[in-house]
Amino acid sequence: MLLFTFAPSHFSEKARWALDRTGLAYTEERQTPLLHRLALRRVGAGPSVPALVLPGRVLKDSPSILQFADGHLPPERRLYPEEPELRRLVEEYERKVGKEIGLSVPRWAYFYLLSRKDLVLQLFSPGVGRGQLLVFSWLFPLIRFLMRKGLGINRESTRRMEARISAHLEEAAGLLAGKDYLFGDRFTAADLSLAALTAPLLGTPGYGGTLAPFAEMPEEARQTAEIWRRHPVASYVERIYKLHRGELFARTSPNATR
């Protein structure tokens, strides 16, 4: 199996975590923005990562990869509950957090990062081949323009993403009130999704990708990130990583092309 990722991508971490949970062997192929489309096109994948190449088929997003991984887990470790109503809640939340946190985090962060070529190279370079990095560096002005345009990155949209992230953290805190997990009494795809998609924002130890260098970002970004890192959900995410990612995290490095 071949997993295409970006080094900092939280959706890639979500897929990586699920695959690591199964113990199945796979190779991680890390890419850089824009250039990744050429690699994905060669294997018949879509325009975005993560993508998992299997014999005879390609899974083109993280929810599909989680569903695939779930089919290779014993009943007591399944990510999707068997009880229909509980499964519906988990799947709906997975979609919701993907839209509200998953799409907002990179747009918010790139507003501050894209003005610094050195920080972007630092973020995407781990595990990427030297040749691809050289091309990425050379084409960076064009890639930056296309990323800003394609993602609609500007100050107004950044404020919207910031508000959306804050609102979802409050909602998640409400769902977690007095509980260890979002739905039911055990770890599910909902918990994995929330933890993986917020971890780079919260600087959670054990995150399987590269973390944004907040210390080198503008003061307003650092202040906002600090507020989020003091949020009750940050403690939950750290606990989830310790309990459900810690014993698996060691498997990531041998699988990755780094």
Q: CA 146 to CA 153: how far, in whole Å? A: 10
Per-residue H/E/C for 48-112: CCCEEEECCEEECCHHHHHHHHHCCCCHHHCCCCCCHHHHHHHHHHHHHHHHHHHCHHHHHHHHH
Q: Which of 129, 125, 68 is nearest to 79 (CA)?
A: 68
What pTM value is reported for the model?
Answer: 0.94
| Amino acid identity at 94 | E
Task: Answer for the pair 249, 187: CB distance below 8 angstroms, yes or no.
Answer: no
Residues 113-130: pLDDT tens digits? 999 999 999 999 999 999
Cα 134 to its chain centre, rounded Å, is 25
Residues 81-99: pLDDT tens digits? 999 999 999 999 999 999 9
Q: CA 116 to CA 110: how far, in whole Å? A: 10
Residue 30 has pLDDT above 90, yes or no: yes
Task: Answer for the pair 241, 20: CB distance below 8 angstroms, yes or no.
Answer: no
Residue 243 has pLDDT above 80, yes or no: yes
What is the rounded (10 degree) CA torsion for 19, 22, 25, 31? 10
Q: Which of 197, 190, 174 is nearest to 86 (CA)?
A: 190
Looking at residue 253, its pLDDT comes to 42
Looking at residue 215, its pLDDT comes to 87
Taking residues 234-256, what's their average pLDDT?
A: 76
| Amino acid identity at 239 | R
Taking residues 18-29, what's their average pLDDT?
A: 96
What element of type H or E holds 219? helix 219-229
Looking at residue 245, its pLDDT comes to 94
Residues 211-229: pLDDT tens digits? 988 889 999 999 999 999 9
Q: In the structure, what pLDDT confidence band is assigned to residue 248 with cuts at 50, 70 and 90?
A: low
Looking at residue 214, its pLDDT comes to 86
Looking at residue 252, its pLDDT comes to 45
Residue 153 has pLDDT above 70, yes or no: yes
Residues 157-203: pLDDT tens digits? 999 999 999 999 999 999 999 999 999 999 999 999 999 999 999 99
Tokens of 133: 């990095």
Residues 35-88: pLDDT tens digits? 999 999 999 998 999 999 999 999 999 999 999 999 999 999 999 999 999 999
β-strands 51-54, 57-59 pairing = antiparallel
Residue 134 has pLDDT above 60, yes or no: yes
> ∠66-107-224 over CA atoms, to 5°?
105
